[in-house]
Amino acid sequence: MITGKNCIAGEFSANGEVEFKTINPKLNKENPTTFVEVTKEEIEKAVDAAWDAFKVYRSVPGKQRAAFLNAIADEIQALDQELIDTYTKESGLPEGRAIGERGRTMNQLRSFAKLVETEDWRSNTFDAAEPDRKPMPKEDLRKTMIPLGPVAVFGASNFPLAYSTAGGDTASALAAGCPVIVKSHPMHAGTSELVASAIVKAVEKTGMPKGVFSSINGGIQAGVDLVNHPKVKAVGFTGSITGGRALFDIAAKREEPIPVFAEMGSINPVIITPDAISKRGGEIAKTYAGSITLGTGQFCTNPGLLLTIKNDHTEGFIAELAKETIALDPQCMLHPNIKSGYEKKEADVTSQSGVEVVGKVDADLEPNYAASAVATVSGREFLANPKLHQEVFGPFSLVVQCKDDAELLQIIEGLEGQLTGTLIAEENDTINLIEVVDALQNRVGRIIYNGVPTGVEVCPSMQHGGPYPASTDSRFTAVGVHAINRWVRPVSYQSFPQSLLPEHLKG
C-alpha cells in the first residue's frame, strides 16, 4: 500500500505541510495518492541515521552485503503487479517496458551482489617490506578501496526503476558499503515508495542497520538541503544539464566539497557514410526511425543528431527516414511538463535559419502524446549556430548534411561531450574511418559500429558516461559493475600489524 510518506531509516513519516500528487499522463489526470514533501528536520534525521549506519555498514563483510542486495531484488519481485500497475499509471509507459525495467533493476542488484561476494573488486595491492634494501629499507605497504560515506541519489524521470530508488546508483553505493538517501522523482513517487518498502524489508530480513537506506519526497529545496549536508559524502544524479550542473556547483561550494557523479545531456551523434546510404539507405532509415522514437525518444542515448556527407542519395535517404519515423504510432510522454519541454525545444531548433522540417506527425493527438519529427540543415549552418547543438528530449532528430570529409570532422571535433557516438559504414568505405573514430573517441564514452545507441547493456565492459556535459566525470561509468568505483577511495596501510589490518589485507 502506498502511503505518500517519506521513508526515514525504516520508519514512514510525513511531518511536512507541502503536498503533491503524481499524474497519469495517458489519462491526463492526477493519481489519487497524496504525497507529503520532506521537512528539513526529516532530512537531518535521515542523514544522521545514515552516518551512524555507515560506522557499521562499511565493515559488513561482502557476503552479507551481497545477501542484502539479493534480498532487495527478491522483495522487488514480490511487489508483483502492484509495482507494474503503479509504474504505468505514473509514467504512461507500457506494461512491457515496466516488466523489462524491473528485470534490469533486479539484474543490476544481483550483479553487484556477485561482485562483492569476494574482495577482488577492491583491487588490493601488496608490496612486501624489504628491511635490508640499500640504501634505504622498504616498508610493508598494502592498498585497498574503502567507501566514501552516505550517498545522496536523485531518481531519474525517464527510468522509474532502473535509474531511481533501487537503480544503478543505489545498488552500486550499497555494494561499496555506503548508506543511501534517495530523493525520489516527483513524477513517480508512488513507484519509488513501493521500491523503498522493498528495500526496508530487505534491511530487516538481512539484519542491516536501519539507517542504511532512506527515501524522501521533495522538490528543488530538498535536493539542495541534502547535498549541502556535511555528512553526505557523494551524489549520484541522472537528469538534465541544468539540474546536474546545479548540484555539482552546490557540492563544490561546500566547506568540504564532495564528488557529484551526474549523467546529463547528450545528442549522441551518428555518422552515416555516403557508401552506407547508397547501399542500404532504406534499411538504415527504418532502423533509425525505430531508435529515434523508442520510448518516445525519452532515452539519454536517443540519436538526436545524424551526420552525413551530401551527395546524390542524401535527400532520398532523409525523406525515407522522415517517412518511416512519422509512420510509427505517436506515443505518450512521461509528464505534461516533459511534453511541453519537448515542443519548446523542437520548435526552437526547427525555427533556426537554414533548418528544414522534412517530416512531422500531423494529426490530432491525445494530451501528452508527442509528434515525432525529422529536420535537416547544412553543415555550414550547424557549425555557425550553437542552438542547433542542444538536446531535444523526445522523438526528434536533426540530419546535418556536410559538404565534405573535412567539414564532417570539424563538426565532430566541435561537439560537446556525449554519452555515445555511432558509425554506420561499409567495410571498404571511402571515408577515412580511422580519422572519424579518432575524432569520436575524444567526444564520447561509447562508440557503436553499425548499430543504434539506444539500449545500454548492464555488463563490465559498458561505459555509460562521457566528457562534460554528458557527465561530470568521464572517468567513471553509471552502468555496469565498475560503477562501484565512484563511491570508494584508495587507502594505503604502511607497516601495520596484522591484528589492525582489514581482513582482506591480512596475510
Quick one: 223 and 364 in the same domain? Answer: no
Quick one: 192 and 48 in the same domain? Answer: yes
pLDDT value for 471: 98
CA distance 87 to 188: 7
- Is residue 263 among the annotated active site residues? yes
Quick one: 135 and 221 in the same domain? Answer: yes
Strand partners, 182: 153, 215
* 493 located within any domain: yes
Quick one: 299 and 229 in the same domain? Answer: no
CA distance 303 to 455: 11
Quick one: 282 and 195 in the same domain? Answer: no
**Does residue 431 carry a pLDDT above 90?**
no
Q: Which three cell numbers stand for residue 415?
A: 561537439
* 465 located within any domain: no
Find the Cα–Cα–Cα–Cα dihedral 425, 429, 435, 437, rounded to 10°.
20
Average pLDDT over residues 302-330: 97
Query: Contact at 8 Å (CB) between 151 and 235?
Result: yes
Closest to 277 in 3D by CA, of 287, 269, 267:
287
Closest to 83 in 3D by CA, of 205, 177, 1, 183:
1
* 312 located within any domain: yes
Quick one: 260 and 274 in the same domain? Answer: no
319 — pLDDT class (breaks 50, 70, 90)? very high
Quick one: 294 and 174 in the same domain? Answer: no
409 — pLDDT class (breaks 50, 70, 90)? very high
- Is residue 356 among the annotated active site residues? no
Domain that holds residue 85: 6-264+471-505
Number of domain units in the chain: 2
Closest to 72 in 3D by CA, of 213, 187, 190:
213
Residues 6+ apart with CB under 8 A from 299: 158, 454
* 22 located within any domain: yes
Residue 77, domain CATH: 3.40.605.10
In the set 75, 90, 263, 324, the catalytic residue is 263
Q: What is the pLDDT of residues 445-501, one digit of tens each?
A: 999 999 999 989 999 999 999 999 999 999 999 999 999 999 999 999 999 999 999
* 211 located within any domain: yes
**Does residue 58 carry a pLDDT above 90?**
yes
| Cell 534490469 -> residue | 104
Quick one: 278 and 408 in the same domain? Answer: yes
Per cent of the chain over pLDDT 70 is 100
Quick one: 340 and 199 in the same domain? Answer: no
Strand partners, 143: 125, 492
Global confidence as pTM:
0.96
* 425 located within any domain: yes
* 461 located within any domain: no
* 1 located within any domain: no
In the set 7, 300, 332, 402, the catalytic residue is 300
**Does residue 414 carry a pLDDT above 90?**
yes
3-state SS, residue 356: strand
Strand partners, 489: 146
Residue 306, domain CATH: 3.40.309.10
